[in-house]
Structure 1
């Protein structure tokens, strides 16, 4: 049966989910801050509303959907803080017609975990984020998971690890091709998920009868940074990567993400179980453009 499905933040992930929902016969409506992007969405056959999650008044034009995907990324060029975009933006969306959805899926981040000693993390692990983005997303999670606690199965939080895919490895690719030293430790862990596998997880969460309210979404095997950049070099014909040691974006060894829960409860099975398979696809052109 056709439903109305709303995408808040129709970017790298959101466009893929919108396309899948359209192919399934659903009416898709997307929120965008840009009139030009709204026109593009309408050419694709999607409805479009021009607005901003940080502007509660603009959200009154949204429809009341069956399902919401909330995947609003942070624009570093914006004058808004991460707290305003993630936490306040989620509260505004919940208080708009979007809050009447039967299923509300929020895309968070594994940045809510601060573990940095190489420990394994899952849905039960402590969340004590040490970054503004991690804290803002954790606050948004609380809204989705607990604000309407009496509505079982409505709010679902997905915590994806590092999202990659076509167009999302090119900075690293250029660095590897040039033989530039990579900042940080070679033995620190990377957790990744291909954007198409994350889109599949969103669709499963949208259609499950009564899913749990939290899932970590990561591929089947964390890689060390040495393994990941070595794979890139192999694919691109670049030199063996070198590393600067300490001083990278992540201190320590990082963490390792488990995906057992989403596999067991939603039947998710990644098409790209590791970056070894996913990078072949990711180094091609982006079909969502």
Structure 2
């Protein structure tokens, strides 16, 4: 591998862009594939392309590629949309690599904790059964298997609920006085978007140093918490006193995800719980 590692981030959006900035700061060569390359961070080498189409992008990198990060986001929240974004899109990228005679050292596939179907507040780690009944979880599992059997050494990074600047759905709900069930507790898992990017960068840099990576990591902060606890804290922090008469925050699942495997490798989140993370979001400029 070259002294300056190279990486292609396929689906270089919010998380991918933050990852790119971290790797650029460490002198990596970073290619970013997305439809609108004008939105790429400065310093990222643009690859204009559409993961939904089979034609290889004209600006596909020449020469070797050390790493591939597949970080797509579905643009449609139905089964067909998920399949196009995660399964077919990954298949297209793998085909483009073959077409150009490239075999990266490792593929990081950005997945979701939605592959787990547990709903009774169970603690989850990478060895827990991933048997979601939802179409989204099942399609993501199919994409995971495609990554693991791609012929490239692959690691899955199952991110939990992303939040951060521009990802303020729960804050909006709290400001509107939405209620949430207290009993039984609905446990939720989250990771600040900067920590998600930080974990991906940490794994890539560890691999580049020769650290042996495992095939799956959970991206989550240190403190899964009952949603009612989070809402109560946010209400106090924001000074919200009213309750909406009808509106309720609804969740389907309830589980607690562990980041012990990533921590054992030496990673630690900058925002260990929702308190630090949301305080940082609320201290920044309002984006919604």
What is the DSSP-based 3-state SS (H/G/I as helix, E as strand, rest coil) of the residue aligned with 1:56? coil
Structure 1 Cα separation of the partners of residues 271 and 182 of structure 2 = 26
Structure 2 Cα separation of the partners of residues 140 and 207 of structure 1 = 24
Structure 2 Cα separation of the partners of residues 241 and 269 of structure 1 = 36
Q: How many residues align?
A: 276
Q: For the aligned residues, what is the CA RMSD?
A: 2.8
Question: CA 1:125/1:242 → structure 2, altered by over 3 Å: closer, same or farther?
Answer: farther
Question: CA 1:175/1:287 → structure 2, altered by over 3 Å: closer, same or farther?
Answer: closer
Write out aligned runs for 1:180-195 (5 A): 180-182=178-180, 187-195=185-193
Cα contact 1:50–1:58 (8 A) shared by 2: no
2:170 corresponds to which of 151, 169, 172: 172
Cα contact 2:179–2:247 (8 A) shared by 1: no
Cα contact 1:182–1:242 (8 A) shared by 2: no
Structure 2 Cα separation of the partners of residues 135 and 263 of structure 1 = 27
* Offset of residue 62 of structure 1: 2.3
Deviation by residue 1:177-204 (Cα, 9 ceiling, x = unmatched): 2323348967200111111111111012
Counterpart in the other structure of 1:218: 220
Counterpart in the other structure of 1:75: 75
* Offset of residue 59 of structure 1: 4.3
TM-score norm. by structure 1 comes to 0.86
* Offset of residue 285 of structure 1: 3.5
Write out aligned runs for 1:42-61 (5 A): 44-59=42-57, 61=59
Counterpart in the other structure of 1:280: 279
Deviation by residue 1:73-131 (Cα, 9 ceiling, x = unmatched): 11128995211211121122122228621121111000000001111111111111111
Question: CA 1:114/1:286 → structure 2, altered by over 3 Å: closer, same or farther?
Answer: farther
TM-score norm. by structure 2 comes to 0.86
Counterpart in the other structure of 2:15: 13
2:88 is the counterpart of 1:85: no
**Which runs of no fewer than 5 residues in structure 1 stay unpaired?**
none
Cα contact 1:187–1:226 (8 A) shared by 2: yes
2:105 is the counterpart of 1:102: yes
Counterpart in the other structure of 1:134: 137
Question: CA 1:177/1:39 → structure 2, altered by over 3 Å: closer, same or farther?
Answer: closer
**Which runs of no fewer than 5 residues in structure 2 stay unpaired?**
none
Question: CA 1:115/1:78 → structure 2, altered by over 3 Å: closer, same or farther?
Answer: closer
